[in-house]
Amino acid sequence: MPRIAAVHRKTNETEVRLELNLDGSGSARVSTPVGFLNHMLELFARHGLFDLSVEAKGDVQVDDHHTVEDVGICLGSALADAVGDKKGIARYGHCTLPMDETLATTAVDLSGRVAFVWNVPIPVEKIGAFDAQLGKEFWNAVASYGRMNFHAVLHHGENGHHILEAVYKSAARSLRAAVALDPRSDGAVPSTKGTLST
């Protein structure tokens, strides 16, 4: 069965339409009013080998916060929907990724329980027009609505763009590993409990 999910979220602040195919080829069609987020989502699709379509509108005349967070909410929701009952998946994934002078690690567990740890100090407030702190807000939303453990650690780095790019690429590869179907599992849920809470 194809592992595809579509999410539509509309509030007084934003409207987001997102579609995710876990078994894609890395294709991205992304249109939001936040240029840096578009770039990060394209990287996420390519490195996760996910097909991702995002169309978002938001109250960016206020700031980018609501739009970035709500896209994260939709991505997390789509991940949870697409992975379904989690039978046969690897469940865990991690990746330590270099990006020029930067080195970052992410690790995920699609456990159905939410835990979020962000140890990624960014030495600048802005990356172009993008508020650097919104990287944390995005991944917190993904973890919360994707019902996963998500840990991000910056080992070292100086350039804010490189730091967030390393996290997005690393997270894509961690999630790619976690959602992968393990041929040795014989379709079992990867838990001694026989179920992963949702």
- 3-class secondary structure for the chain? CCCEEEEEEECCCEEEEEEEECCCCCCEEEECCCHHHHHHHHHHHHHHCCEEEEEEEECCCCCCHHHHHHHHHHHHHHHHHHHCCCCCECCEEEEEEEECCEEEEEEEECCCCCEEEEECCCCCCEECCEECCHHHHHHHHHHHHHCCEEEEEEEECCCHHHHHHHHHHHHHHHHHHHHCECCCCCCCCCCCCCCCCC
Whether 195 is covered by a domain: the verdict is no
More confident residue, 2 or 166: 166
Q: Is the predicted pLDDT of residue 192 greater than 80, yes or no?
A: no
| Residue pLDDT, tens place only, 70-101 | 999 999 999 999 999 898 899 999 999 999 99
Whether 91 is covered by a domain: the verdict is yes
| Residue pLDDT, tens place only, 127-171 | 999 999 999 999 999 999 999 999 999 999 999 999 999 999 999
pLDDT at 184 (0 to 100): 78
Whether 106 is covered by a domain: the verdict is yes
Whether 188 is covered by a domain: the verdict is no
| Residue pLDDT, tens place only, 105-130 | 999 999 999 999 999 999 999 999 99
Whether 105 is covered by a domain: the verdict is yes
Q: At what angle are helices 160-179 and 134-146 packed, to 10 degrees?
A: 10
pLDDT at 185 (0 to 100): 79
Domain range for 45 is 4-179
Whether 124 is covered by a domain: the verdict is yes
pLDDT at 191 (0 to 100): 61
Whether 26 is covered by a domain: the verdict is yes
Q: CATH number of the domain at 98, please.
A: 3.30.230.40
Whether 194 is covered by a domain: the verdict is no
Residues 161/127, Cβ–Cβ less than 8 Å: yes
Q: How many domains does the structure of the chain reveal?
A: 1
